[in-house]
Chain A
Amino acid sequence: MTTNRIHQKLQEDKKILSIYFTAGYPRLEDTVSIIENLQNSGVDMLEIGLPFSDPLADGPTIQESSTQALKNGMTTNELFKQLKDIRNSVHIPLIIMGYFNPIMQYGVEAFCAKCAEIGIDGLIVPDLPVDVYEEDYKSLFEKYGLANIFLITPQTPDERIRYIDSVSDGFIYMVSSASVTGAKSTFGDVQKQYFERIHSLQLKNPQIVGFGISNADTFETATNRAKGAIIGSAFIKFLNEKGIDAIPEFVQSIR
Chain B
Amino acid sequence: MSATINSITPIGGNAGKGAYHVSERGYYGEFGGAFIPEMLYPNVEELRQKYLEVMSEPSFKQEFNKLLKDYVGRPSPLYFAKRMSEKYETRIYLKREDLNHTGAHKINNTIGQILMARRLGKTRIIAETGAGQHGVATATVCALTGMECVVYMGEIDIARQAPNVARMKMLGAEVRPALSGSRTLKDATNEAIRDWINNPVDTHYIIGSAIGPHPYPDMVTRFQSVISEEIRAQLLEQEGRENPDYVVACIGGGSNAAGTFYHFLDEEDVNIIAVEAAGKGIDSGESAATSVLGHQGIIHGCRTLLMQTEDGQITEPYSISAGLDYPGVGPMHAHLFKSGRAEFKAITDSDAMKAGLQLCQLEGIIPAIESSHALAVFEHQKFGKDDIVVVALSGRGDKDLNTYIDYFSL
Contacts and interface: CB of A to CB of B under 8 A. Distances in A.
A63 interface: yes
Given A105-B295, A151-B39, A180 B311 contact: no
A179 B311 CA distance: 28
A255 to B, nearest CB: 27
Nearest to B25: A131
A248 interface: no
Contact of B311 (A75, A132, A155): A75
Interface size class of B (residues with CB under 8 A): 35 or more
Contact of B312 (A101, A160, A164): A101
B36 A127 contact: yes
A63 B39 contact: no
Contact of A179 (B179, B197, B297, B308): B197
Contacts of B298: 99-101, 104, 127
Contact of B301 (A58, A127, A157): A127
A132 B303 CA distance: 12
B310 interface: yes
B190 interface: yes
Interface string A121-164: 00000111110100000000000000000111101110010001
Contacts, number: 114
Interface in B296-316: 296-301, 308, 310-315
User: Which of B39, B298, B310 has the most chain A CB atoms closer than 10 A to its own CB?
Assistant: B39
B37 A53 contact: no
Contacts of A67: 180-181
Given A53-B314, A180-B194, A132 B39 contact: no
Given A101-B308, A157-B42, A180-B197, A52 B35 contact: no
A110 interface: no
B321 to A, nearest CB: 22
Interface in B168-212: 179-181, 186-187, 190, 193-194, 197-201
A155 B200 CA distance: 8
B12 interface: no
Contacts of A126: 37-38
B39 A178 contact: yes
A105 B311 contact: yes
A103 interface: yes
Contacts of B301: 127
Contact of B35 (A59, A64, A128, A178): A128
A53 B328 CA distance: 14
Contacts of B200: 153, 155, 178
A105 B297 contact: yes
Contacts of B179: 60
Contacts of B41: 129, 155-156, 160
B388 interface: no
A246 interface: no
A70 interface: yes
Contacts of A52: 312-313
Given A127-B298, A178-B197, A104 B38 contact: no
B186 A54 contact: yes
A153 B38 contact: yes
Interface in A49-88: 52-60, 63-64, 67, 70, 75-77
B197 A106 contact: no
B173 to A, nearest CB: 22
Contacts of B308: 101, 105
A100 B308 CA distance: 13
17 contacts: A53-B314, A56-B193, A56-B194, A60-B180, A99-B298, A101-B297, A101-B299, A101-B312, A103-B312, A126-B38, A127-B298, A127-B301, A129-B34, A129-B35, A150-B38, A153-B200, A178-B198
Given A57-B37, A127-B36, 9 more contacts: A54-B300, A60-B179, A100-B35, A103-B312, A106-B311, A129-B35, A151-B38, A155-B42, A179-B39
Interface of B: 33-39, 41-42, 179-181, 186-187, 190, 193-194, 197-201, 295-301, 308, 310-315
